[in-house]
Structure 1
Amino acid sequence: MFSIDVLRSGLPVITAPAEGTESVTVHVFVGAGSRYEQGNERGISHFLEHMFFKGGRKYRSTKEVSVAIDSKGGDCNAFTGKEYAGYFVKVAAEHAELACDVLSDMLLYALFPQEDIERERGVIIEEERMYQDTPMYRAGWDFEELLFGDHPLGWDTIGEEKVIRSVQQKDFRQYKERLYSPDNCTVVFAGNIDQARAVALGEKYFGTLAGSKERAFVPFEHYGKEKVFLRSKKTEQSHLVLGVPAVGALDKTGDISTRAGVDQSRLHEAIGLITQEYLLCAEKGVSDEELQRAKDYLRGKFTLSLEDSEERAHFYGKQKLLYPEVLDTDAYLARFDAVTKKQVDTLAARLFTPENFRLVVIGKEDNKAAMEESLA
């Protein structure tokens, strides 16, 4: 079970207690992913995530933030995606208040010192270069660009180097003011904690969060018409992503794709096998046994994940931030159980058609026409 309370500021606080655990995760979700960025801001969402860890009024440096949590054996981390960002601390239940103290100081009272901004530029640029040099990461980014083009959904979350080099303190403050507000955030307490304590801690440490959301993300209209993108790179393997535009969880944007790293000489064979499976699924559908196996797999993975307080926090927080309703675990699993063979077969027949296929390859392959032919 879980509960949702709304603080006087309008900030939602979710309590998701769990028996048999001694940990608590405090997780702050913010609707501030890279999809909200404009062209001259590419990467600011991710850069801002880094800057929050430089400290606030009380914990004034990365070291002070780390020592506060590490000294209690806890974990502190964050991420930035397309639709949202998240910041969490996981600690033994007795240190739940410390988790709130550290997170609220970071997020509400960040100072963004100029010297830290300059130092972090280099860190992020090196991170970006590392991903550029990792074909499976780069292939995923290229696939998104192939689908979504010059739209925030098609941009790398990590950002563009020229923006990373130019963003200033005022830019962070303005971006934070536009999106880090009670109506665009959710605080989740998951694990060994009760509702009364969670709400009290939420009010004490996050109740002063103010303002209102000032930006919506740019709507997406049309998928790119190009079917193949090749990136020449000296690699031992060919790295590929092959997929189709699909239904989305939040709006009409989405995709289904298959990734692989294969011997250069077997690239065409791999593409043929993947497209063959897609077309077979579209033509014949799935068997009852396959559908049940998929349901059992998803149910098992989901159930095991809930033993981790951080995963439990993520389950509820993401729903509250992005979806029209928050399901409990039983209702969520019931959605899986309700899926029918007919629904899967109908969707597969609609999606897995040659005209929908999109392919990205990183490696030595340079014959785009041959790649397009392999998808026909």
Structure 2
Amino acid sequence: MFRKTTLENGIRVVTEKLSGTQAVTVLILVGAGSRYETQEIRGISHFLEHMFFKGGNKYKNTKEVSEAIDSVGGEFNAFTGKEYAGYYVKVAGENFKVACDVLSDMLLNAKFPQVEIEKERGVILEEFNMYQDTPMYQIGWNFEELVFGNQPLGWDQIGTKELINTVMHEDFKKYNGKLYTPDNLVIAVAGNVDHGNVVEMIGGCFDRLEGEKAYNFDGLKKIDGGRLSLKEKKTEQAHVALGFPAYKESHPDYWALKLLSVILGGNMSSRMFLGVREAHGLAYYIHTSVDSYADSGLLVTNAGVDLKRIDQAITGIIEEYRKVRDEDVPEAELKKAKSYLKGKMILNLEDSEEFAHLLAKYELLRGGAVDPAEITKKIDAVAVADVARVAKDIFKEEGMKLAVIGPYGEKERFEKLLKF
């Protein structure tokens, strides 16, 4: 069972004692994702994430940061999402202090030296180019722009080349000061640890952090991004994302939505996999997933399909949506989806990193950490009627959206397919 303490400066510390592991993960989650950006600073959240690894007072550069973690056989990384950024170190329990030292020095004493900013521009531009050249990544971003339109939730996290080429030291200091504050930050620790010892250690490392969050992200505006995104590109395989706007994470039917996505395309015995790939050989990869945020979400099926049979593949995906909307899911199939979802959660939470992420995300975004047993109860409570109601609510022709990347130029070819 997790425990929580709020430090004097407002930092929330959440821990979970995992007796079956010798690893400890220290994860810092900050409400500073790409939704907090405007067009003028689009991409600064992700660039800032890179800059924190350039050193502070104790560990003065990337080499010293890396050596500190490598010397104890640890792992460290960071990530930028739409609504938060995360920084973590995973070490053997006996090296917990090293993790705290490195993370606190990075976040409290970051210098953002201009010379390092100039060097990192090239790194991030190459990351930008990598995503542009990787349709499996790009298709998801194109689909989100369709669903959410031209606003922060519809933008990718990598940002614009203009920002990457022009952002300066003072821009990082300003953005950091507004959002990297105690009240906008959660530290989660998972592993074979004692809560009291963790609080004492983190308190000593992070007690100098001060300030208050300057602003929140804007709520989602109703912007019509259209129904079809077609990017003409010479590829050996067409990439498709076909789905619908869906629910925010706190929606009462969120877990029914998650189970619906498992039934449709969550694993190798799902309807999409068996119906589109195995029965007809139309796709190599195909999967359905849910992405949910504070005020909205989406359900989407992604697939890499045969260039010559893309129309048949799209029609096949739509047919699976139609069937699950018009015909109730059998009880046995729902039971199997529940077992899958719960089993995957159990396996994931064997990893202290995954457990820390679960705790921190719920604490930061949902107003309180959650015990996995509570999630299990919500999954078990979903009935066939709930899944049917969600399918009918979401799978409407006017909400259907399609993104395609491949050697095609004619939009009309795909627009006429978007119907039940």
TM-score normalised over the length of structure 1? 0.98
Instruction: Give the structure 2 partner of residue 353 of structure 1.
Output: 396
Say yes or no: does 1:25 pair with 2:25: yes
Q: Which moved more, 1:363-372 or 1:121-130?
A: 363-372
Instruction: Give the structure 2 partner of residue 12 of structure 1.
Output: 12
Measure how far apart 1:133 and its partner are: 0.5
Contact 1:285 1:348 in 2 (8 A): no
Contact 1:229 1:360 in 2 (8 A): yes
Alignment-mate amino acid for residue 77 of structure 2:
N
**Structure 1 residues 151-177: Cα deviation after superposition (integer angstroms, max 9, x where no partner):** 001111011000111100000011001
Distance 1:195 1:225, change over 3 A: closer
Measure how far apart 1:223 and its partner are: 4.4
How far apart are the structure 1 equivalents of 2:307 and 2:223?
29
Instruction: Give the structure 2 partner of residue 323 of structure 1.
Output: 366
More relative contact order, 1 or 2 (CA 8 Å, 6+ apart): 1
SS at match of 2:54: coil
Instruction: Give the structure 2 partner of residue 85 of structure 1.
Output: 85
**C-alpha RMSD of matched pairs (Å):** 0.9
Q: Which moved more, 1:220-229 or 1:189-198?
A: 220-229
Instruction: Give the structure 1 partner of residue 321 of structure 2.
Output: 278
Measure how far apart 1:221 and its partner are: 2.0
Contact 1:282 1:353 in 2 (8 A): no
How far apart are the structure 2 equivalents of 1:237 and 1:224?
28
Alignment-mate amino acid for residue 242 of structure 1:
L
How far apart are the structure 2 equivalents of 1:110 and 1:326?
29
Q: What are the within-5 Å matches in structure 2 for residues 104-123 of structure 1?
A: 104-123=104-123
SS at match of 1:94: helix
Q: What are the within-5 Å matches in structure 2 for residues 77-156 of structure 1?
A: 77-156=77-156
How far apart are the structure 1 equivalents of 2:352 and 2:369?
17
Contact 2:219 2:295 in 1 (8 A): no
**Where does structure 1 lack aligned partners over 5 or more consecutive residues?**
none
Distance 1:285 1:222, change over 3 A: farther
**Where does structure 2 lack aligned partners over 5 or more consecutive residues?**
250-292
Q: Percent identity?
A: 50
How far apart are the structure 2 equivalents of 1:196 and 1:174?
34
Q: Which moved more, 1:243-252 or 1:178-187?
A: 243-252
Measure how far apart 1:329 and its partner are: 1.3
Say yes or no: does 1:370 pair with 2:413: yes
Alignment-mate amino acid for residue 411 of structure 2:
K
Aligned residues: 376
Say yes or no: does 1:294 pair with 2:333: no
Measure how far apart 1:225 and its partner are: 5.1
Contact 1:23 1:91 in 2 (8 A): yes
Instruction: Give the structure 2 partner of residue 164 of structure 1.
Output: 164
SS at match of 1:77: strand
SS at match of 2:229: strand
Instruction: Give the structure 2 partner of residue 252 of structure 1.
Output: 295
Alignment-mate amino acid for residue 175 of structure 2:
Y
Contact 1:279 1:353 in 2 (8 A): no
Instruction: Give the structure 1 partner of residue 55 of structure 2.
Output: 55
How far apart are the structure 2 equivalents of 1:276 and 1:117?
50
Say yes or no: does 1:335 pair with 2:375: no
How far apart are the structure 2 equivalents of 1:52 and 1:324?
27
How far apart are the structure 2 equivalents of 1:98 and 1:296?
39
Say yes or no: does 1:262 pair with 2:305: yes
Q: Which moved more, 1:249-258 or 1:90-99?
A: 249-258
Contact 1:25 1:190 in 2 (8 A): yes
Instruction: Give the structure 1 partner of residue 346 of structure 2.
Output: 303
TM-score normalised over the length of structure 2? 0.88
Measure how far apart 1:236 and its partner are: 0.3
Alignment-mate amino acid for residue 330 of structure 1:
A
Alignment-mate amino acid for residue 34 of structure 2:
S
Measure how far apart 1:252 and its partner are: 3.4
Contact 2:26 2:189 in 1 (8 A): yes
Query: Runs of 4+ in structure 1 displaced over 6 angstroms?
Result: none
